[in-house]
Chain A
Amino acid sequence: MIQRIATLCRYLTTSLLFSLTGVIYLIGTLVYYWLAFQQPSPEVSYFVLVIGLFGGAVTFLLTLSIASRANQAINFPLLVRLPSRVEYLAAVFLTAVTLGLLLQLLVGLIALLHNGPSLSLSQAVEIPPVWLAINILAAALALHASELVTAGWSRVYLYGALAVLLFLQSNHSQVMSWIGGRFLALGNWFNGLGITALNFPLRNLANWLSVNGNEWLARFIAFVFWPIQAITEATMNGYFSRAQALAPAVLLLYATIIFMLAADLFANKDLHLHE
């Protein structure tokens, strides 16, 4: 299995790098460095966040590019050779993560060599695992956006859920009080119809949603987004507390779940590769 995945990774890497898209990625990386590191000797936190953001974004785009190449009909004879389609998806995923990390390290290395922040060895060793966790999550999410993996409405469901969570993160109290208000109005409407038995439970539900429901939702959303928040805070502080050190591992857990969903979709869908 390792031989097959490594072979596919090599194939996908060369097909991307020896194409115009590969050159564009390389030029884009250098342009990003030039734009982001115009000021000499930036803060370490700036260095980590700016390159971390770049890594996540470039891995997302790389995953889309590689998945698009993998979704071509020239690959039918290769796919039929694999005992499991998931090996193919794993190769797409690993290629994107590896290339993303390499481009990220390229920016980091140039930034360090040219007026970059001074980092101790322990600081320098701590940074790549954090970046890697973000890149892996970005690659897993990008798989669902690609034509290769998506089946039916799957990407609408996943990105819709993500959009709802992001919306609720900043607007949860307004949303819960709006829902509470709707239940209250419904209770009043039943009351007007003479169905008083429903009015009381609906009022209770509306009150619960406005007070306790809002709190529960806030906690849930904070829990979901905790790893991102923890990594950002730790980077700004310059060190990871014990709890914050778990954040990259939680991101990897998210990525694993999202990748497993992608693998399940890919394994059971009709393959209509582009000619």
Chain B
Amino acid sequence: MIEVDRVTKAFYTVVAVNDLSLDVPEGEVIGVLGPNGAGKTTLFKLLAGFLKPDKGRIRAKRLQWPAIGYKPERLLFPNQMRVLAYLEMVAALSNVNSRDIRRVVYDSLSRVNLLDASQKQIRDCSKGMRQRLGLAQALIGDPPLLILDEPSNGLDPDGQAIIASHIQQLRQMGKTILLSSHQLHEVTQVCTHLIIMNQGQILYERPMAEALIEQPHALIRVNQPLAPVAALLQSLHPEVVIQEQEIVLNNEAMGLRRQVLSILLAAGYDILKVEQQRVTLAEVYAEATR
């Protein structure tokens, strides 16, 4: 849908995005993670057209106007306006037929559970309402690409869950979504693709499912201390970690688990638990940004 080809963007001496290439496929929800100052917001602003690349280019394929719905990181709105009037204005700017504006706005408000606040002045809206308002305005005009910069930033767990469920609904509707977040569980929950950035570059890029099973661990718990068989087990593979009554297999080598289990059974241990553990997003993130 959008192709970013070796784009560099610098502000004076600070290189915010450095020779970055990225293909945004249609219908994917791409989670962009990275520490503060990694270049996520600059990348989003480049994609939304607010910034021009110093080098490289950004190409949009088969995108018809209005192509992009954008929710900025900061929840800044014209506070003196009412929610309804603000969304009507966004609709009028988004090629919505004047007869359909009211319907489109109410549709967008109901999608984010904000109908009750339609007559409120924006200054009277809570943080959660403002986040949902940000999402509602991005949805108006049915743009195929949504850029959501920290959509659940500063929300309580309930608020985060509501936003995550809205994003999942949008995913089911086939929208292409780019979102940045510091909420790792939210990214795990809603994203189909993962990008980790630091210092303006992509350090890690993979489909989410692949990212999370990339280094599977297995945990085996037994009924008595493992000291008598520890040496034998460790001789199988250096990635076999022996704890008191637990063995952690940090390797996906074929047959390793079966070999460990046979040794344990032969030595008369009872197997209390065998658990396949996936690597967490936090571990992937820590590894990539190390």
Which chain A residues have a beta carbon within 8 Å of chain B's beta carbons? 3-4, 7-8, 11, 15, 18, 72-74, 76-83, 268-271, 275
Contacts and interface: CB of A to CB of B under 8 A. Distances in A.
B177 to A, nearest CB: 15
Contact of A269 (B52, B74, B78, B138): B52
Given A73-B76, A78-B93, A275-B76, A83 B65 contact: yes
25 contacts: A3-B98, A7-B92, A7-B93, A8-B93, A11-B78, A11-B89, A72-B76, A73-B76, A74-B76, A74-B77, A76-B50, A76-B76, A77-B137, A78-B89, A78-B90, A78-B93, A80-B48, A80-B50, A82-B93, A83-B65, A269-B52, A270-B50, A271-B45, A275-B74, A275-B76
Contacts of A73: 72, 74, 76
A79 B66 contact: no
Given A76-B48, A83-B66, 5 more contacts: A7-B89, A7-B93, A76-B50, A77-B90, A80-B50
B227 interface: no
B188 interface: no
B94 interface: yes
A75 B49 CA distance: 14
Nearest to A69: B78
B221 interface: no
B51 A270 contact: yes
A74 B75 CA distance: 8
Nearest to B65: A83
Q: Of A73, A78, A80, A82, which is in contact with the most chain B CB atoms at under 10 Å from its CB?
A: A80
A145 B90 CA distance: 28
B77 A271 contact: no
Given A3-B92, A7-B92, A80 B74 contact: no
A268 to B, nearest CB: 7
Given A271-B51, A275-B74, A275-B76, A80 B92 contact: no
Contacts of B66: 81, 83
A76 B77 CA distance: 10
Given A83-B65, A268-B52, A271-B50, A76 B92 contact: no
Contacts of A275: 74, 76
A81 B45 CA distance: 14
Q: Of B45, B50, B52, which is in contact with the most chain A CB atoms at under 10 Å from its CB?
A: B50
B91 to A, nearest CB: 9
Nearest to B72: A76
B17 interface: no
Nearest to B54: A270
B68 interface: yes
Contacts of A11: 78, 89
Contacts of A15: 78, 80
Nearest to B52: A270
Contacts of B175: none
A76 B71 CA distance: 9
Contacts of A269: 52
A73 B75 CA distance: 10
A168 B285 CA distance: 64
A15 B79 CA distance: 10
Q: Of A4, A8, A76, A79, which is in contact with the most chain B CB atoms at under 10 Å from its CB?
A: A76
Contacts of A79: 50
Contacts of B77: 74
B31 interface: no
Contacts of B151: none
Given A11-B89, A271-B51, A81 B138 contact: no
Contact of A74 (B65, B68, B78): B78
A77 B138 contact: yes
Contacts of B71: 77
B70 A77 contact: yes
B187 to A, nearest CB: 23
Contacts of B49: 80
Contacts of B45: 271
Contacts of A76: 48, 50, 70, 72, 76
A268 B78 CA distance: 26
B288 to A, nearest CB: 29
A12 to B, nearest CB: 10
Given A3-B98, A8-B93, A275-B74, A80 B68 contact: yes
A74 B134 CA distance: 11
Q: Of A73, A79, A81, A268, which is in contact with the most chain B CB atoms at under 10 Å from its CB?
A: A81
B231 to A, nearest CB: 62
Given A77-B72, A270-B52, A18 B80 contact: yes
B144 interface: no
A4 B93 contact: yes
